[in-house]
Structure 1
Amino acid sequence: MVLVSSLFSCIPQKEIVLLQDHSSDKNYSNPYSEMKSITDQYILQPNDYLFINVSTPDEKISEFFNQRRSNNMGGGQQNQNFFYYQIDDSMNIDFPYVGNINLKGCNVVNGKERVKDALKPFLKEYNLTFKLATNTFTALGEFRSQGVHNMTKEQITIFEAVALAGGVTPYGKQKKLQLLRQLPDGPVTYTVDLTDKNIVNSEYYFIYPNDMLYVRPMRAKQFGIGESFSLGIITGLLALYITLDSLIK
């Protein structure tokens, strides 16, 4: 019984309970740097789609700058009658009449200013709408709902992302969630501990479009132990074996 219990003991609470206070743990030090800002941290990337609309008092001029187009933005869905612009590999968008506008190194706020600067020679009074149209993240590994998920707003917390992905299974390593983020200099991978409450004030508390979350399985999953496994099953079978053995003898 002791041997069985040691091999198939339950998963410790410290491995699955979120937002714990680890300050009293031996040799613990806060691994996260403090969050500096929340909004406008995402830097635009190639293949991003932007929703851009120019509105002027003259309807004909507005129509001239807003050429309706149909783009496939993933998932096999055609988005018609909207003003979507795809960023190419050189970080340019081809804007009607204006030509190429380079958005290298821009977030959404800077990108809007770049488009405004490009329109200055042509328009005096106008209203510009500039938004990121492709707000998705990817969840892989021990999530109940793996795949690409739409973000409910421009920026969501890492716990909102986990919830959108159906939550982590009981056998996911929540202490070692891998966050893959595309930066201007290339992709970077961070390790995030979902059980540590200090993540709330850290730079990893919010995720951004195109982020990928990956949760590795625990060894219990590798040994083929499913979610329905219970120590009671093992002890029940052992008791049945002892009973039958005694009756046979």
Structure 2
Amino acid sequence: MINWARSIGFVGIILLIGSCGINSNWMLRTHKDYDFSDIDSLNESKNDYKIDINDILQLRFFTNDGIKVLDISSNATGNQSALFNPNNSLNYVIQNDSMVELPVVGQVNLVGMTIRQAELYLEDQFRGYYIDPFVQLSVTNRRVVVFPGNGGEAKVIYLQNNNTTLLEAIALAGGITERGRASKIKLIRKNAQGQREVYKIDLSTIEGLAYTDIIVQANDYIYVDPVPELGREVLKEVTPIVSLISSAAVIIATISALTP
């Protein structure tokens, strides 16, 4: 009986070690001496958004300096919504080589331009084919990924406004979860060279107001470090193993009692 008990205990330990998944959903960990990027440089993010590779551009085009826009908006028949009808616009994707192919003008490079700069550039390109072209441009797939503090749980937030702040993005994701650490928020962003940099932000105190108005950019990752839950995680891992060992012990005890 003692040998059986020892065997069961040994098997239980092996199962516990092999199935250990304590805080296994915790992502993007940084060691104690990790060199975070200078958060003061994020002030540059208040600049207008710049078009990047894989952006989906929505293009609306009018001639005669956009007189058609005014005609639609002042239409007495009540057809004001026609200006915003998706059927009146076309979508184009910025390819990996930074080029996008547009009607008439062909391949153009818009990467690195702000929306306004791109509009003026395209108006100049179309001017050789149309009278006083008027271009409206928008990026339809600008988004950030927010991990609100539950380890691997995340939400994709589409940026409807050009000036969405860090605090707004977190609020759109439902806020920081109970397990999230407001003092340890990582903002992960691509730099001009295409490499991702990591900024550490503390929103746990009123001094954090200095960072709440940081303008998020498309393809940012906002990761809230979760609080380690060793007790609950260990209990979750151990409970089924203890139950298995207890059941095995009862079976063995029953067999032993029935054995002459």
TM-score bracket for the superposition, by shorter chain length: 0.5 to 0.7
**Structure number with larger C-alpha Rg:** 2
Which of 198, 218, 227 aligns to 1:209? It is 218
Aligned twin of 1:106: 113
Query: Normalized per residue, which structure has more strand?
Result: 1
| Residue 174 (1) aligns with residue 182 (2) | yes
Q: 8 Å contact 2:65–2:134 — kept in the other structure?
A: no
Shift of 1:40: 4.2
Aligned pair partner of 2:53 in 37, 42, 46: 46
**Residue 162 (structure 1) shift:** 0.7
Offset at 1:170?
Answer: 1.9
Query: 1:208: how far off?
Result: 1.5
Q: Is 2:156 the counterpart of 1:140?
A: no
Give deviations 1:49-85, integer Å, cap 9, x for gaps: 11111112599xxxxxxxxxxxxxxxxxxx8663111
41 and 203 in structure 1: CA distance in 2 versus 1, 3 angstrom threshold: farther
Instruction: Choose which of 172, 192, 197 in structure 2 pairs with 1:184.
Output: 192
Query: 1:206 and 1:222 mapped to 2: Cα distance?
Result: 38
Aligned partner (choices 121, 126, 131) of residue 119 of structure 1: 126
Q: 1:88 Cα shift? A: 0.5
The answer as to whether partners of 1:43 and 1:105 remain within 8 angstroms in 2 is: yes
Unaligned runs of 5+ in 2: 1-37, 67-85, 236-260
Task: Kindly report which structure 2 residues correspond to 1:24-35, keeping only aligned pairs within 5 A, or say none.
Answer: 32-33=39-40
Aligned positions of 1:1-249 closer than 5 A: 32-33=39-40, 40-57=47-64, 82-140=89-147, 142=149, 146-186=154-194, 187-202=196-211, 205-220=214-229, 223-224=232-233
Alpha-carbon contact 2:39-2:199 (below 8 Å) kept: no
Change (3 A) 1:176 1:185: same
CA spacing shift, 1:171–1:212, aligned 2, 3 Å: same
Q: Which residue of 1 aligns with 2:78?
A: none
Instruction: Verify the 8 A CA contact 1:138 1:210 in the aligned structure 2.
Output: yes
1:36 to partner: Cα distance: 5.2
AA partner of residue 218 (structure 1): V
Q: Give how far 1:42 is off.
A: 2.4
Q: Residue deviations 1:68-125, cap 9 Å, x none?
A: xxxxxxxxxxx86631111011111101011011113212222222212211222232
Are the counterparts in 1 of residues 142 and 218 from structure 2 also a CA contact under 8 Å? yes
- Equivalent pairs: percent with the same residue? 22
Deviation for aligned residue 1:39: 5.2
Normalising to structure 1: TM-score of the pair? 0.60
Aligned-pair distance for 1:203?
Answer: 9.3
